[in-house]
Structure 1
Amino acid sequence: MDYKLGFITLEGFVRGVANKESLKLCFIACGQFGGKQGDELARLNHSVHAINTAETDLADLKVIKNIIKLDNYNGAVKDIERGQMAIRDNREKVLSVLQHPDVTEADFVFVAAGMGGGTGNAAAPMLLANLAKIRKPFNGKPSYGGLISVPGSWEQRGIKKNARWGLSHIDDLIRENACGSVMIIDNEKLYNLTESIFSDNGPLSWEDYGNSTIAALITEVLALTALPSGKTFDADELLDVLCTPGYFSFGKTIIKDGDSRESNSLSSYIDRAFKSSPTASDYDYELDAINGFVAVVHPKSSRNPIITDSDFRTIEENFGEYIANAEKPHSGMIANEDWGLITGNGKVKGEDPKALLYVGAVTDQLPARITQMLEEIEQEEKTLSEKKSKRASQAPLDLSAFKKLDKREFAASSEVGNEFDLFAPSKSKDDEDDDNFLL
């Protein structure tokens, strides 16, 4: 287990599956967000391929080895059409990624991209649409999906318009069952969640926190499916969730010895796990969830178990109510001997006895905050269009009347006029004093 953890902290049970088979994920990291997220995933030995137009973004990557620079472009300047052109002009390079054994042989492939820019935004729906020709389905479902970031409320209107374009195309693929689950990182939630968070290595930006936490969560959920148990949440069950077309959110929380085991408290842990996650969580889980999972990892040798069989049955019941529309959610209770935290500084931290609750859900509707943002940008566009239309009906200002200079006229020595002529002879100091009103 050769992790280059950086800011990442992992639960100790991950050590127990270092040499065991688990699901193989592959990430195609597009654009700036995709690259940064991909770098954290590569730290944990996930297969990652980076694609970008910007040399500077690619040079900033520390861990990813498989890098594709799209030739004849140096950034997409947040222009989706330019991003599309870059991909089409580098068709063979992009196809080499899609046909790479990492992509064709993985159990599930994520396209990671930000929805605000040009390269990632253009690449995400294009790559997802083409993965259908490369990937074999799992149990009749698409074995590929997305990991995307969505702009916060403070970001520019043009960025939000880009997100609207990307989300609409991805949503079409989901409706057509041509894409599996899509994980949404809402920058708004992530920023609010991390205002006071610090790491062992010093202050941690909200972007770094999101990237490292997502990488850790993905790795831990994969690891728990590989742990032996009498009531396990296994790899195929996780794959069934990931391959479900819709929007995926997941998270975890800690239940400590002595915490309340009342039914309403156990239900609140489920809610807390989703809300503390860097993934968007303001979905209507009760009405819109179509698949999901709940899993508990607890100490194996504890004489006084933190979560009893009875507690777990209550958790299963509560989770079934929480995502009531989902008919067959998966669940598992896994006893484990490896505890403590694996940290970025190489030390293993001991901890008091605890249980870990992991939850995940796929919904068929976008989260509320994103839906509101899309409605607001649509209204802003409508209002702006109406103002432009009103101004277009007005007679334009005739500027020809302002051509005459008040002081004196200049004899033209070129078509552009002396005041703009870089080839005109330099003036004497006296002439410059006369003309000092010119910029």
Structure 2
Amino acid sequence: MNRIRKIGLNISSQFIHVLILQSFLKWIFFGAVVGLLSGTASALFLKSLEYVTHIRLVNPWVLFLLPLGGAFVSYLYYKYGMNSTKGNNLIIEQIQERAYEHVPLRMAPLVLFGTLVTHLLGGSAGREGTAVQMGGSLAEQFGKWIKVGPIDRQILLMCGISGGFGSVFGTPIAGAIFAIEVIALGMMRYDALIPCFVASFVGNMVAMDLWGVTHIQYDMGEIPSLTLIVLLKVLVAAVCFGLVSMIFSELTHFLKKNFASIMPNPMLKSAIGGVIIILMVYLIGSRDYLGLGMPLISQSFEDNVHPFAFLGKLLFTSVTLGAGFQGGEVTPLFAIGATLGNSLAGMLQLYAPFLAALGFIAVFCGATNTPIACFLMGIELFGSEGAIYMFIACLVSYLFSGYTGIYTSQLIGVSKSNLLKVPYGINISSVKIKRKKM
């Protein structure tokens, strides 16, 4: 019997590399197709976003149409959106294989149109949600066309996330890791690593080389020498980044919940939210916090910003998303982090561009619970010279953001501290933390 088993093992081992090659080639092809689709969709989105932003800047009066535009988009989602209203959480849940739900193809045009309306009329939102949802819905449609099984469907959806993320930010490595890291805290899906990298890499190349998309580059300036005092200052800043990311996530969820409870009608909810944003603009006397926040980011790397600019962007974005406007959170998180880093620079006596770069990735990290992806994004965007500081900032921000995040469907895979009793396998919106008995 042992001899028979040994012979069977030897025969199987002769074909293992054939099977690996077969799987490798299959996912190179599948990932490339999803990358082509998501990269093209991201390019269309970014070009359109640039156009509508220009219209808003040269026609300030369009801000007064924000309540009407928000109500119209909410009507479209109410009438035709089906489960598209779940947004990124829908895609995450399908990868987790919780309850099966179809990711509709209509999600792509709905979120594209809705996000463009938000930015055209002055809402404060981002880009990643739109790119991820377009990539996920296109990947789902491709999977239906080739009739993949449940496991391959999960990987294709992750490819959609990677292709959208990598192409919209110009960070193919971070895009690949983000998709396999965002599903559950502390766990990664390595079976999807190659497909996701191919999708992210191809998506980025398609957007840049085929469609001519360009991305703004930032310089984090002089990197301080690694000393104990500098390390302590970076740790203090990283704790602040984590706490601010927690505040952003909690405030956004709080506003979504309370807007919905007070105004169950989604059209009325968005209309009232638009009125609140207009009042906020005239209350503070500035339009700096509308749109993506790219000027705020640039100013954080080049000059000093208002000490509470991060709070302004945080409030505008939370109200916009809480009222049901479409768009992502990540680019506003970049702006919140960069402005917060710039504000902390004077108190901590560190270079403003240096801390702006750390805040750029660390606040995003705390809000998404993806420290490895955010660290790699920092290297792709700012170079590797400050890698040690970027890694520390991401790890500490991840820890101090607690069990919060912008994606409520993220599962708890590993506890952030062995002193906390956290039930595994539930999403972060359901977490009730207890101190672990020693």
Please confirm whether the aligned pair reaches a TM-score higher than 0.5, indicating the same fold. no
RCO comparison, higher one (Cα < 8 Å, 6+): 2
Structure holding more helix per residue: 2
Structure holding more strand per residue: 1
Greater Rg over alpha carbons, structure? 1
TM-score relative to the length of structure 1: 0.28
